[in-house]
C-alpha cells in the first residue's frame, strides 16, 4: 500500500487518540453554545436576531486555546525521544506521518467549529431568534479560517521545536509577531505622519487581514483609532472577504510550511528546545523581537520628532527588558548559563533587522507623503467612514464620490501645505479623512488638514452635494438587513419579541415604499444620524420626576400639561424603527422615525399593536372603576398630536395613578381612564388627532392602545389630563 502523502489508517488512529481531549472541548463548546440562547429565551421575551459575535462566543477561546491544545496533543510524540522513535519507526513517509497526524487534529478543530456553528443557528432558530441563517456562513468561515491559522502556527511551532515550552513560544510569536509589527508600524506612522491613514499602506499594515489577531485587538478596541485597517470592528471581520481570504491563505501556507519542516526535521531533536544551536539563538532573537521592534519604533519617532528625556528612559527600559526576555527564554530552554553568552550576538542582529524594517517603512511613508496631487489630477474625493459600527446613511455617504472642482481644488491646496512630516501648520485645522481618487485610477487615502476658512467651505460643498445628501436618507435593501426592531412600541418593553418581529417585517416593507418616495430633506429628517437634528419627538418616556417644564425650550404648559408644538403639524410616533445589517462587509445600524410622513406604515403599526392588546383587560379595568381596587391601576398617556388653538401639540409620557388614594388627582385619574376607555381604537389614523395610552393593573392585565379623538374633544382632554397629573412638589 503506497502511503507517500497520507495514511488513512494512521489518521483514524490519531483521530481516536484525540477523542478524549477533543471530545471534552467539543462538549464544553456545545454546552455553552446551547445554553446561551436557551437561558436568554427563558429569561426574557427578547428575540432580537443575535449579533454574529453572540452566536458562538465559546468558539473564541476555542480558536486560541482549544486549537493549540489539539495540535500539541496530536504531535506530543515530538516532545519525547521514545515516542518520537516509535512514530518514526512506523512504516510511513515523513509527509504521510505529518499528514495523518495534522489531518486528525484539524478534523477535530474544524469539526468543533462546524458543529458549534450549526448548533447555534439551530438552537437560536428553535428559540425564536430567527432569522440567523444568513450569518451561518460568515460565522463558520470566520472561526474556521481563524482556527486553521492558529493551528497552522501551532503546527510550525511543534515541528520546529522539540519541547512544549519552545513550541508554544514559537506558536505565539508566529501568530502575533507579524501583526504586532504591523500595529507598531501603524502606531509609529500615526505618531509622525498623521496625514497618512494606518492600514491603508498595504497588506503588512492592515492588521485586520489576520482574523485571530484582529479579533483580540478589536475586543480591546485597538482596531480603531488609526491602528487597525479596513475592518474597524470585530463583527466586520466576519463579513470581510479580504480578512477571511488572507487568513485562510496564511493558514494554508503555515500548514504546508510545517509539513516541509517536519519532513526535514531530524527525529533526534525530540525533547530539545531547538534542532540546533543556531536555531536556538534565532528563537531567542524572536523572543526579544517585540521589545526591539518597540525600540526601533521609538528611534524612528526620535528621528522625526526629536529627542525627549522620557524617550531615553523608555529606551533604556526596553533594552533591559530585551535582555531579560532573551535571558529567561534561553535559561529555561537550555538550562545553561554559557548559552547566554554564546547567543548574545543574535540580539544586535535582531535589533539591526528591526531598525532596518522601521526606518525602511518610514522611507516608504515619506515617499507616500510626497504624493501630493494637483487639483487637475483629482477626479473626485470620497469621505471615509470614521467609525464602526456605521450608521447606514454614513456608510452610503462614504461610497459617494464627489467631483466638485472647487472641492478638489481645496483638498489639493490644503494637502500641499503638508510637505514634511511633523510640520507645524499655521492656523486651526480640521482633519477630514478622505479617499482622493486620481484621474489615473490611483486612490490615496489621507487625513487632509484643512485650514479653518476652507474647512467650512468644504463642509458646505459636501453637505450640499445632492447625491451625498440623498445618500444619508437611503434605506437598507432586504438582503442587507439582519434584524429589525421597534423601539418604543411596547412602552419600553420588548422591542424584539417574537410577536413584534412579524409586525416589524410588515411595517418595514410599507415604510420603505413610503420613505423612498419622500423628498431627500424629509427623509433625512426622519433618520438618526450624527450632525443631523432629530425630529422633535423626544418627549417620550420622561419619568414623572423629570417632567419637562416651561423653562425647557419650546415647552408650553397648557392646563398644567407640558406640551411642545409638532413640526408642521405632522405627528411623530414615539416609536423608532431600528435596523441592523451588513453592507459590503461593513456592519451598520439605522434608526427611522415613524410618523405622519409615512402614514401607511404608522397606521399599520398602530393597528397591529392595538390588535395585540388583550381585549379582556378593557372589560376588567372598566369593572374596577369606582371601586377601591382601582387604586392599583396606573397608566400613562401621550398626546401624540392634538390641536389646541391654531397649533398642533405633542406631550411626553404623562404618568397617572398608583399613588395615594382619595386625592383629587386619583379621582381625576378615574375620570380620565373612563374617558380613555371609551376612545375609538379601530383603525387609528396618524393624520387625525391622535393619542396613545396604557392602563395597567398587573403584568398580565394591561392595555396599550392608540386612539383617534375628535378635534373638538382635544381641549377637554388636555384639561382632564392636567387635572389628573400628580402634583410635583
Site for another protein in 538-567 (CB under 8 A): none
Number of Cβ atoms within 10 Å of the Cβ of 628: 9
Instruction: Answer yes or no whether residue 359 interacts with another protein by CB under 8 A.
Output: no
Angle at CA of residue 475, ends 474 and 476, nearest 5°: 120
Nearer to another protein, 278 or 517 (CB): 278
CB of 2 to another protein, least distance (A): 8
Pick one of 39, 65, 90, 332: the residue that binds another protein (CB under 8 A): 90
Instruction: Answer yes or no whether residue 9 interacts with another protein by CB under 8 A.
Output: yes
Instruction: Answer yes or no whether residue 333 interacts with another protein by CB under 8 A.
Output: no
DSSP string, 557-605: EETTEEEEEPGGG--EEEEEEEEEEEETTEEEEEEEEEETTSHHHHHHH
CB of 100 to another protein, least distance (A): 10
Nearer to another protein, 281 or 597 (CB): 281
Instruction: Answer yes or no whether residue 483 interacts with another protein by CB under 8 A.
Output: no
Instruction: Answer yes or no whether residue 1 interacts with another protein by CB under 8 A.
Output: yes
Angle at CA of residue 716, ends 712 and 719, nearest 5°: 150
Site for another protein in 91-110 (CB under 8 A): 91-94, 96
- Which cell numbers in the block locate residue 142? 470566520
Residue range at the interface with another protein (CB under 8 A); choices 83-91, 566-574, 620-628, 643-651: 83-91
Nearer to another protein, 17 or 687 (CB): 17
Nearer to another protein, 259 or 290 (CB): 259
CB of 13 to another protein, least distance (A): 5
Question: 50: helix, coil or strand?
Answer: coil
Pick one of 28, 38, 60, 83: the residue that binds another protein (CB under 8 A): 83
- Which cell numbers in the block locate residue 717? 382632554
Nearer to another protein, 25 or 197 (CB): 25
CB of 11 to another protein, least distance (A): 9
Nearer to another protein, 18 or 437 (CB): 18
Q: Are 585 and 241 in contact (CB under 8 A)?
A: yes
- Which cell numbers in the block locate residue 499? 410577536
Pick one of 85, 406, 463, 506: the residue that binds another protein (CB under 8 A): 85
- Which cell numbers in the block locate residue 452? 479653518
Locus of grid cell 479580504: 242
Q: How far is CA 240 from CA 82, 349, 455, in A?
A: 46, 37, 33
Nearer to another protein, 93 or 242 (CB): 93
Question: 113: helix, coil or strand?
Answer: helix
Rounded to whole angstroms, how far apart are CA atoms 723 and 663?
A: 11
Pick one of 42, 43, 89, 729: the residue that binds another protein (CB under 8 A): 89
Rounded to whole angstroms, how far apart are CA atoms 401 and 443?
A: 12
Residue range at the interface with another protein (CB under 8 A); choices 85-93, 161-169, 460-468, 617-625: 85-93
Instruction: Answer yes or no whether residue 342 interacts with another protein by CB under 8 A.
Output: no
Q: Are 121 and 132 in contact (CB under 8 A)?
A: yes
Site for another protein in 236-275 (CB under 8 A): 266-268
Q: Are 376 and 431 in contact (CB under 8 A)?
A: no
Residue range at the interface with another protein (CB under 8 A); choices 86-94, 357-365, 369-377, 596-604: 86-94
Site for another protein in 10-39 (CB under 8 A): 10, 12-13, 16-17
**CA 150 to centroid of chain Cα atoms:** 22
Count residues contacting another protein (CB under 8 A)?
Answer: 30
Locus of grid cell 485571530: 212
Instruction: Answer yes or no whether residue 335 interacts with another protein by CB under 8 A.
Output: no
Nearer to another protein, 1 or 545 (CB): 1
Nearest-CA neighbor of 264 among 27, 506, 437, 93?
Answer: 93
Nearest-CA neighbor of 396 among 211, 131, 207, 579?
Answer: 579
Instruction: Answer yes or no whether residue 620 interacts with another protein by CB under 8 A.
Output: no
Q: Are 447 and 425 in contact (CB under 8 A)?
A: no
Residue range at the interface with another protein (CB under 8 A); choices 1-9, 199-207, 428-436, 554-562: 1-9
Rounded to whole angstroms, how far apart are CA atoms 520 and 597?
A: 12
How many Cα atoms are found within 13 Å in the side-chain-facing hemisphere of 572? Answer: 25
CB of 480 to another protein, least distance (A): 51
Residues that bind another protein (CB under 8 A): 1-4, 7, 9-10, 12-13, 16-17, 77, 80-86, 88-94, 96, 266-268
Amino acid at each position: 500500500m503506497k502511503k507517500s502523502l497520507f495514511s488513512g489508517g494512521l489518521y483514524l488512529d490519531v483521530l481516536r487518540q484525540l477523542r478524549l481531549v477533543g471530545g471534552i472541548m467539543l462538549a464544553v463548546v456545545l454546552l455553552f453554545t446551547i445554553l446561551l440562547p436557551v437561558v436568554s429565551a427563558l429569561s426574557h421575551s427578547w428575540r432580537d436576531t443575535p449579533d454574529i459575535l453572540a452566536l458562538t462566543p465559546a468558539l473564541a477561546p476555542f480558536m486560541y486555546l482549544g486549537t493549540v491544545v489539539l495540535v500539541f496533543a496530536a504531535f506530543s510524540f515530538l516532545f519525547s525521544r521514545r515516542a518520537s522513535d516509535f512514530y518514526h519507526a512506523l512504516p510511513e513517509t515523513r509527509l504521510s506521518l505529518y499528514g495523518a497526524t495534522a489531518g486528525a487534529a484539524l478534523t477535530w478543530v474544524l469539526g468543533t467549529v462546524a458543529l458549534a456553528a450549526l448548533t447555534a443557528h439551530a438552537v437560536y432558530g428553535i428559540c425564536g431568534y430567527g432569522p440567523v441563517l444568513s450569518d451561518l456562513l460568515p460565522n463558520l468561515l470566520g472561526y474556521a479560517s481563524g482556527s486553521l491559522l492558529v493551528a497552522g502556527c501551532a503546527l510550525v511551532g511543534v515541528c520546529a521545536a522539540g519541547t512544549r515550552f519552545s513550541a508554544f513560544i514559537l506558536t505565539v510569536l508566529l501568530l502575533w509577531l507579524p501583526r504586532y509589527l504591523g500595529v507598531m508600524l501603524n502606531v509609529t506612522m500615526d505618531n509622525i505622519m498623521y496625514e497618512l491613514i494606518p492600514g491603508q499602506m498595504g497588506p503588512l499594515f492592515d492588521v485586520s487581514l489576520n482574523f485571530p489577531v484582529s479579533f483580540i485587538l478589536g475586543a480591546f478596541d485597538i482596531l480603531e483609532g488609526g491602528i487597525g485597517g479596513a475592518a474597524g470592528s470585530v463583527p466586520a471581520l466576519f463579513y470581510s472577504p479580504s480578512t477571511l481570504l488572507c487568513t485562510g491563505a496564511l493558514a494554508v501556507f503555515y500548514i504546508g510550511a510545517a509539513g516541509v519542516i517536519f519532513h526535514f526535521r531530524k527525529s533526534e531533536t525530540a525533547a530539545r528546545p531547538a534542532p540546533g544551536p543556531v536555531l536556538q539563538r534565532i528563537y531567542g532573537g524572536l523572543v526579544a523581537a517585540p521589545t526591539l521592534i518597540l525600540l526601533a519604533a521609538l528611534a524612528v519617532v526620535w528621528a522625526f520628532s526629536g529627542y525627549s528625556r522620557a524617550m531615553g528612559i523608555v529606551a533604556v527600559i526596553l533594552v533591559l527588558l530585551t535582555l531579560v526576555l532573551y535571558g529567561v527564554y534561553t535559561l529555561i530552554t537550555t538550562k545553561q548559563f554559557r548559552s547566554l553568552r554564546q547567543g548574545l550576538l543574535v540580539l544586535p542582529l535582531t535589533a539591526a533587522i528591526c531598525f532596518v524594517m522601521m526606518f525602511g517603512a518610514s522611507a516608504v511613508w515619506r515617499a507616500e507623503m510626497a504624493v501630493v496631487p494637483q487639483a487637475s489630477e483629482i477626479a473626485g474625493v470620497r469621505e471615509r467612514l470614521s467609525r464602526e459600527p456605521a450608521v447606514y446613511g454614513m456608510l452610503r455617504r462614504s461610497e459617494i464620490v464627489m467631483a466638485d472642482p472647487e472641492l478638489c481644488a481645496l483638498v489639493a491646496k490644503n494637502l500641499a501645505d503638508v510637505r514634511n512630516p511633523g510640520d507645524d501648520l499655521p492656523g486651526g485645522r480640521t482633519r477630514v479623512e478622505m479617499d482622493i481618487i486620481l484621474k489615473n485610477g490611483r486612490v490615496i487615502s489621507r487625513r487632509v488638514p484643512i485650514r479653518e476658512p476652507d474647512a467650512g467651505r468644504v463642509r458646505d460643498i459636501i453637505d450640499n452635494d445632492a447625491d451625498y445628501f440623498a445618500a444619508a436618507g437611503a434605506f437598507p435593501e432586504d438582503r442587507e438587513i439582519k434584524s429589525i426592531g421597534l423601539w418604543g412600541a411596547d412602552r419600553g418593553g420588548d422591542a424584539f419579541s417574537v410577536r413584534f418581529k412579524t409586525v416589524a417585517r410588515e411595517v418595514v416593507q410599507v415604510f420603505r415604499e413610503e420613505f423612498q418616495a419622500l423628498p431627500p430633506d424629509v427623509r433625512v429628517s426622519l433618520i438618526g444620524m450624527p450632525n443631523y437634528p432629530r425630529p422633535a419627538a423626544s418627549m417620550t418616556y420622561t419619568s414623572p420626576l423629570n417632567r419637562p417644564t416651561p423653562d425647557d425650550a419650546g415647552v408650553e404648559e397648557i392646563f398644567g400639561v407640558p406640551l411642545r408644538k409638532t413640526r408642521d403639524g405632522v405627528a411623530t410616533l414615539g416609536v423608532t424603527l431600528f435596523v441592523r445589517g451588513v453592507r459590503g462587509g461593513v456592519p451598520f445600524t439605522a434608526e427611522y422615525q415613524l410618523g405622519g410622513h409615512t402614514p401607511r406604515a404608522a397606521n399599520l403599526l398602530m393597528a397591529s399593536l392595538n390588535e395585540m392588546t388583550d381585549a379582556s383587560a378593557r372589560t376588567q379595568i372598566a369593572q374596577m372603576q369606582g371601586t377601591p381596587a382601582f387604586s392599583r391601576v396606573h397608566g400613562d398617556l401621550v398626546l401624540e398630536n392634538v390641536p389646541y388653538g391654531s397649533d398642533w401639540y405633542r406631550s411626553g409620557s404623562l404618568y397617572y395613578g398608583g399613588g395615594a388614594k382619595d386625592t383629587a388627582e386619583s379621582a381625576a385619574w378615574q375620570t380620565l381612564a373612563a374617558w380613555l376607555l371609551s376612545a375609538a381604537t379601530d383603525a387609528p389614523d396618524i393624520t387625525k388627532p391622535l393619542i396613545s395610552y396604557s392602563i395597567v393593573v398587573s403584568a398580565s392585565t394591561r392595555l396599550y392602545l392608540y386612539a383617534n379623538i375628535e378635534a373638538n374633544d382635544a381641549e377637554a382632554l388636555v384639561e382632564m389630563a392636567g387635572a389628573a397629573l400628580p402634583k410635583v412638589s
